[in-house]
């Protein structure tokens, strides 16, 4: 169990699984409940008050949180976070960078130089592999967000699948002052000449993710050309086939028909993912440079989808490129840091 120390004066919007207790709010995230307990709130009924102790052993508060023990024993939860009850409501878009600094315990000047995002189903495997490359790794106060260092620079990492999730760490860190945001992942290709395991470098991105416009993004958003150029050189040096693409971010992997793919091809769109345009739009809002490196998985124009097994040589290329794009992200971040000094 991890109880995060409270931050005073800030909080978050009401959540159906959040209870106000005295002057504090406990907010929890949980995954699969154990057998017989499908609703954690139901498990909270008619239990005696308990005290809670923080991860350093400090008493956080004597709280009247009914059934805390029962809840914890019957839910496989990720963490419990304690935040101060705020005096007045405030929408997330009205938060200041200081709100995020207080929540994360990051004073001004200590924000990461860069954020690396990754959109994948295999969150645990990806997170473990990427964090193994960083030094001094620590988990931050928000779920699946980590910070570590590489060659003297602090780097944040978050495995975030889909635009709705990817905008959250991008928003937080870019608003605090992180100046480079790099999206990694896989994509589908509409180019009949594309090869699984090649790497797409989106330049212009059709923003149809459903979120970009809320951050002022237009119909098309653009990655940073300098970062794209640096990444292209690094990938070519490693003998990875690359292509700068006219890209589409679409909100669903499943809601794509043959007719849609044909229409997208006629528009001149070449690759598709679920995060890039939203990350660009948020980055633009807060002045962060953005880059996307996406390993081609399925070639949609060949009638191939992620459900189709890859040929052994294609699978080997996809795995190799997936490892390399993280190395290249680190090199690009390092080069950006050097250019600022």
Domain of residue 60: give its range.
Answer: 3-89
Closest CA relative to residue 322, chosen from 167, 122, 146: 122
Q: Are 222 and 265 in contact (CB under 8 A)?
A: no
Q: What is the pLDDT of residue 6?
A: 35
Do 200 and 323 belong together in one domain? yes
Do 210 and 307 belong together in one domain? yes
CATH number (domain holding residue 126): 3.40.50.1580
- Domain count within the chain: 2
Do 194 and 327 belong together in one domain? yes
Question: In what helix (H) or strand (E) does residue 200 lie, and over which residues does it extend?
Answer: strand 199-207
Q: What is the Cα–Cα distance from 58 to 4, expressed in whole angstroms? A: 11
Do 127 and 82 belong together in one domain? no
Q: What is the Cα–Cα distance from 58 to 238, expressed in whole angstroms? A: 50
Which domain-ending residue is among 71, 89, 107?
A: 89
Question: In this structure, how many other beta carbons lie within 10 angstroms of the beta carbon of residue 161?
Answer: 19
Q: Are 161 and 272 in contact (CB under 8 A)?
A: no
Do 216 and 79 belong together in one domain? no
Do 121 and 154 belong together in one domain? yes
H-only helix segments in 146-275: 163-176, 225-237, 258-267
Do 82 and 133 belong together in one domain? no
Q: What is the pLDDT of residue 309?
A: 76
DSSP state of 302: G
pTM score above 0.95: no
Q: What is the pLDDT of residue 303?
A: 64
Do 66 and 119 belong together in one domain? no
Do 80 and 101 belong together in one domain? no
Which domain-ending residue is among 49, 69, 89?
A: 89
Q: What is the pLDDT of residue 300?
A: 65
Do 254 and 319 belong together in one domain? yes
Q: What is the pLDDT of residue 28?
A: 35
Q: What is the Cα–Cα distance from 203 to 80, expressed in whole angstroms? A: 40
Q: What is the Cα–Cα distance from 32 to 71, expressed in whole angstroms? A: 12
Residue that is written with structure tokens 């040096």 in the block: 237
Q: What is the pLDDT of residue 340?
A: 65
Do 211 and 262 belong together in one domain? yes
Q: With a cut of 50, which residues of the chain have pLDDT below it?
A: 1-87
Do 53 and 168 belong together in one domain? no
Which domain-ending residue is among 33, 57, 89?
A: 89
């Amino acid at each position: 169990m991890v109880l995060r120390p409270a931050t005073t004066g800030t909080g978050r919007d009401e959540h159906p699984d959040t209870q106000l207790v005295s002057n504090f709010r406990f907010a929890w995230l949980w995954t699969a409940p154990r057998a017989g307990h499908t609703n954690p709130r139901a498990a909270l009924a008619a239990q005696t008050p308990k005290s809670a102790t923080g991860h350093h052993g400090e008493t956080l508060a004597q709280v009247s949180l009914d059934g805390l023990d029962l809840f914890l024993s019957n839910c496989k939860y990720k963490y419990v976070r304690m935040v101060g009850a705020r005096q007045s409501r405030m929408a997330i878009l009205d938060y200041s960078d200081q709100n995020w600094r207080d929540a994360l315990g990051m004073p001004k000047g200590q924000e990461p130089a860069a954020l690396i995002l990754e959109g994948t189903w295999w969150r645990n495997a990806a997170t473990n592999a990427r964090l193994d490359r960083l030094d001094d790794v620590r988990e931050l106060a928000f779920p699946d967000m980590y910070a570590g260092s590489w060659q003297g620079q602090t780097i944040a990492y978050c495995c975030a699948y889909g635009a709705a999730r990817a905008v959250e760490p991008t928003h937080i860190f870019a608003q605090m002052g992180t100046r480079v945001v790099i999206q990694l992942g896989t994509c589908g290709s509409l180019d009949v000449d594309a090869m699984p395991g090649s790497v797409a470098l989106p330049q212009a991105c059709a923003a149809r993710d459903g979120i970009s416009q809320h951050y002022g993004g237009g119909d098309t958003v653009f990655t940073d050309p300098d970062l794209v150029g640096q990444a292209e050189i690094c990938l070519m040096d490693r003998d990875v086939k690359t292509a700068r693409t006219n890209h589409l971010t679409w909100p669903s992997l499943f809601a794509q028909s043959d007719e849609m793919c044909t229409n997208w091809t006629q528009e001149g769109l070449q690759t598709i993912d679920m995060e890039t345009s939203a990350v660009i739009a948020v980055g633009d809002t807060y002045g962060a440079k953005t880059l996307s490196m996406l390993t081609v998985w399925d070639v949609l124009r060949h009638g191939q989808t992620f459900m189709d097994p890859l040929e052994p040589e294609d699978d080997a290329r996809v795995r190799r490129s997936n490892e390399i794009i993280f190395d290249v992200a680190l090199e690009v971040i390092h080069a950006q840091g050097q250019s600022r000094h």
